[in-house]
């Protein structure tokens, strides 16, 4: 069973020519087949956690450990983390001019799988995944995220998720900027991956609306760089009714 273990994780970022601590001792275990929702106010450190796990160079790990199936994630390069089974769906996906979606996806699949997928079966696989996400086939020939709407960018992220089949999927505010229809389609894509039972999901969000479509096994409240409360799906309902005020004691910048 694939397991991501985060122990006493401390992370800093440079701000105003000084190192500022953002994560102040995060403990979390995500097992294969589980869905964990991390919720919290702006500036609590949620996105910092996502990008630190993915290996973003902006963030410096100053303490703690992260392992995936017992392997030290923090010793891995960004591409090694991806090959090991970590996947990050970004809040703000970047444009990649000159690289088509189809080439990007096949190159990514080759890197993760260790060999290039056979072209005939790969084309069929991509086409079927795009149909499930209500994506026009012509989308595959567009440059990655160039001129994409917010909904198109998020569908492309979930398309990657479905095709790359990671061990742990980190979804950083996948619901941001989506209208109701796009939110439903994206959520259905996430749920298809979850239903395989082969992926652990770490869902980062401000709002409970996406949790109406993606039911978490566990909900964690993030505040000032650490998890301050954990519970089941009912905790999200409490946050919907009461907000984060009870947890806010000063925050860290994301």
Per-residue pLDDT at 225 exceeds 50 = yes
At 29, phi and psi to the nearest 5? -125, 125
Per-residue pLDDT at 205 exceeds 70 = yes
Q: Taking the model in full, what pTM does it have?
A: 0.91
**What does the pLDDT average to over 40-64?**
93
Residue 11 lies in a domain: yes
Residue 137 lies in a domain: no
Give residue 252's pLDDT band: very low, low, confident or very high (50, 70, 90).
Answer: very low
Q: How far is CA 48 from the centre of its chain?
A: 12
Q: Which two tokens stand for residue 166?
A: 């990671």
Q: What is the CATH number of the domain that holds 227?
A: 3.40.50.300
Q: State residue 251's pLDDT score.
A: 43
Q: How many domains does the chain have?
A: 1
Q: How far is CA 77 from the centre of its chain?
A: 18
Residue 140 lies in a domain: no
Dist CA 75 CA 67 (whole Å): 10
**What does the pLDDT average to over 59-64?**
96
Residue 144 lies in a domain: no
The per-residue pLDDT of the chain, averaged, comes to 91
**What does the pLDDT average to over 192-215?**
92
**What does the pLDDT average to over 107-117?**
91
Instruction: Give per-residue burial for 228-247: e unless 16+ CB within 10 Å, then b.
Output: beeeeeebbeebeeeebeeb
Give residue 206's pLDDT band: very low, low, confident or very high (50, 70, 90).
Answer: confident
**What does the pLDDT average to over 17-42?**
93
Residue 47 lies in a domain: yes
Tell me how far apart the terminal alpha carbons of the chain are, to the nearest angstrom.
Answer: 31
Q: State residue 249's pLDDT score.
A: 55
Number of neighbouring beta carbons within 10 Å of residue 48: 25
Rama region for 55: left / alpha / beta (φ>0; ψ in -120 to 50; rest): left
Which domain covers residue 181, as residue numbers?
A: 3-94+149-247
């Amino acid at each position: 069973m694939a397991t991501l273990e985060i122990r006493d994780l401390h992370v800093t970022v440079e701000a105003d020519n000084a190192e500022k601590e953002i994560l102040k001792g995060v403990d979390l275990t995500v097992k294969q087949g589980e869905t964990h929702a991390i919720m919290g106010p702006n500036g609590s450190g949620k996105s910092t956690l996502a990008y630190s796990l993915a290996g973003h160079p902006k963030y410096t790990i100053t303490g703690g450990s992260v392992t995936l199936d017992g392997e030290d994630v923090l010793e891995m390069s960004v591409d090694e983390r991806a090959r090991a089974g970590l996947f990050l769906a970004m809040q703000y996906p970047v444009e990649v001019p000159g690289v088509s979606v189809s080439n990007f996806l096949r190159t990514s699949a080759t890197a993760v799988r260790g060999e290039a997928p056979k072209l005939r079966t790969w084309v069929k696989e991509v086409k079927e995944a795009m149909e499930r996400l209500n994506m026009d086939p012509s989308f595959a020939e567009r440059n990655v995220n160039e001129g994409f709407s917010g909904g198109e960018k998020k569908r492309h992220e979930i398309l990657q998720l479905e095709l790359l089949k990671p061990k742990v999927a980190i979804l950083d505010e996948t619901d941001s900027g989506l209208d109701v229809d796009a939110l439903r389609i994206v959520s259905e894509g996430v749920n298809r991956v979850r239903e395989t039972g082969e992926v652990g999901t770490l869902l980062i969000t401000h709002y409970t609306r996406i949790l109406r479509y993606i039911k978490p096994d566990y909900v964690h409240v993030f505040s000032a760089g650490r998890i301050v409360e954990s519970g089941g799906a009912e905790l999200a309902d409490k946050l919907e009714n009461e907000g984060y005020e009870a947890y806010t004691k000063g925050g860290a910048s994301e």
